[in-house]
Amino acid sequence: MENDELLIQFRNREIIGKIIRKIREESKNLGRIKIMHVCGTHEWTITHFGIRSLLPENIEVIAGPGCPVCVTPASEIDALAELSLRNNVIITTFGDIFRVPGVKTSLIEAKSMGGDIRIVYSMLESIEIAKKENKKIVHFSIGFETTAPTTAIEILKGPPKNFSVFVTHKLIPPAMEFLLKTGPRIDGFICPGHVSTIIGVRPYRKIAEKYKKPMCIAGFEPLDVIIGILNIIEQIKEGTYYVYNEYSRAVKEEGNIIALDTLDKVFDIKDSWWRGIGLIENSGLKLKKEYEEYDAIKIFDINIKPIDHMPEGCRCGDVLKGIISPNECPLFGKICNPNHPIGPCMVSFEGSCSIAYKYGKNIT
């Protein structure tokens, strides 16, 4: 009951209306302001609740690369699809990557060709399969800082010898900095809530100060997001740039120390390829040398050539970089939809195109 009452407050129309009026007042005479977020759940909240339709015309909120499935390179999907067709190999993965197209194929197509590919809900489920099977189990480890600790914990525990991981974990702050250096104009960031529960506030401070950009870590309810937008506008008006932690009920300054320590024990940082964006320095994770016995890339001698591939006509790359909104893609809602996805952003429930298709009457 208490949780229901709290939820009602975070969606209280009267309170939200007051803050929207404050946003309109504070943003007068500021010119056009472009705020980016990098979280699929934020995009769901913004689009589902029609937040863009409440904002003044000079305030634009755009989605960045907040979907890990969307930025997973097509060549990695092809590599796993090919590996699944080998004898004595089982691939486990999460459901939202299952239908994402690679260059040559997708995992669902590989399964139809005889590949043993199984959808799991956690890495622990994959390890349980390894305990029961004589085959080699390869888990497709996808996600940002939010899910990487679960991979690290299971590796530290010492999984079965027939178990390995194909690691494609990525880090959000380097991508934010990359977009500030190379992407469209960004006046401020709504920092991701889930990622921030792990990494805390500190990683964003250097970026905010270096590029003089206001930032706000926000939760996932409409009130959270709207407060975040207001804070960024107030920072712009005052000529300040710092990281405001609106989501302090879940995010600590130092982050989750135990999770960060686990990541540091298991992973090294590497340059990583982001589909639709390109190579971003220090934005990926790889297993440390002492854990290479669990590294599927080493075990199976997989040679992956990064290919920035998008299907012909697909503009998912521009959506991920915040250059266009989903409905500006010529394929959106025509030949590309959740039942027949052409690009990766239409597949995952965190993908901007998928969200726009389902709730898109409020997208601008």
Write down the mean pLDDT value for the chain: 94
- Judged against a pLDDT cut of 50, whether residue 1 lies above it is answered with no
Indicate the class that CATH gives domain 9-63+172-245. Answer: alpha beta
Q: Is 253 exposed, middle or buried (0-12, 13-18, 19+ CB in 10 A)?
A: exposed
End-to-end C-alpha distance for the chain, whole angstroms: 36
In this prediction, residue 92 carries a pLDDT of 97
Specify which residues 190 forms β-bridges with: 37, 216
Where are the CATH 3.40.50.11750 domain residues in the chain?
9-63+172-245
Q: In what order do the strands lie in the sheet with 215-217?
A: 59-63, 33-37, 188-191, 215-217, 243-245
- Judged against a pLDDT cut of 80, whether residue 140 lies above it is answered with yes
pLDDT band at 10; cut points 50, 70, 90: confident
In this prediction, residue 2 carries a pLDDT of 55
pLDDT band at 363; cut points 50, 70, 90: very low
E-strand stretches of the chain: 33-37, 59-63, 89-93, 117-119, 136-141, 163-167, 188-191, 215-217, 243-245, 267-274, 278-287
Global pTM?
0.94
pLDDT in tens, 74-129: 999 999 999 999 989 999 999 989 999 999 999 999 999 999 999 999 999 999 99
CB 342 within 8 A of CB 331: yes
In this prediction, residue 362 carries a pLDDT of 43
Residues 186-204 have a mean pLDDT of 98
In this prediction, residue 360 carries a pLDDT of 78
pLDDT in tens, 216-255: 999 999 999 999 999 999 999 999 999 999 999 999 999 9
CA-derived radius of gyration, the chain: 21
Here the tokens at position 26 are: 């504070």
Amino acid code (one letter) for 306: P
In this prediction, residue 361 carries a pLDDT of 61
d(CA 332, CA 20): 30
Residues 342-358 have a mean pLDDT of 95
